[in-house]
Amino acid sequence: MTEDVEELLAGARHAVVGVNRASGPPQLTVVWFLWDGEAFRFSTTRSRAKYLNLKRDPSLSLLVDDFDKKFYVVAYGRARLIEESHDELARPLLEKYLPERAAAPQWSADRVMVELRPERLLTGR
């Protein structure tokens, strides 16, 4: 992985995730994400369509874009829904995006983490 990719994925940017709906066009959602060098993780709730769609079909696409550098990363693979230990796994999200709130997070009880270990990772300019 190049330095450009690592820098892009370490920044507090949004990712767009795409999941397959039961019928109709794909569902696209903007999320905060973490990249640990092997997997992307983001948080969602059990009541959201994204969670329900991933339970039915774990196929997932994720796009992170750096408009200023005209550079992007796209990841494809199958999501793993992590139903336990959400708060512990999600704390780094707050440290990345809202560091002033990381010491005392307030998560709802229905939150889960979604993990994507890319089967394919593409970059482009």
Number of domains present in the structure of the chain: 1
Give bridge partners of residue 74 from the DSSP assignment.
63, 122
Kindly tell me if the per-residue pLDDT of 88 is higher than 90: no
User: Helix, strand or coil for residue 24?
Assistant: coil
- Read off the amino acid at residue 22: A
**Distance (Å, whole) CA 17 – CA 14:** 10
Which tens digits make up the pLDDT trace of 39-50?
999 999 999 999
pLDDT-derived band of residue 92, with 50, 70 and 90 as boundaries?
very high
In angstroms, what CA-CA distances link 108 with 43, 45, 80, 112?
A: 11, 8, 20, 10
Quick one: pLDDT at residue 27? Answer: 96
Picking from 4-18, 58-72, 89-103, which range would have the lowest pLDDT averaged per residue? Answer: 89-103
CATH number at residue 65: 2.30.110.10
**Who has greater pLDDT, 68 or 114?**
114
Quick one: pLDDT at residue 53? Answer: 97
Over residues 60-87, the mean pLDDT reads 94
Quick one: pLDDT at residue 109? Answer: 86
Cβ neighbors of 79 (< 8 A, separation 6 or more) are 19, 54, 58, 59, 60, 114, 115, 116
Over residues 67-91, the mean pLDDT reads 92
Domain that holds residue 47: 3-124
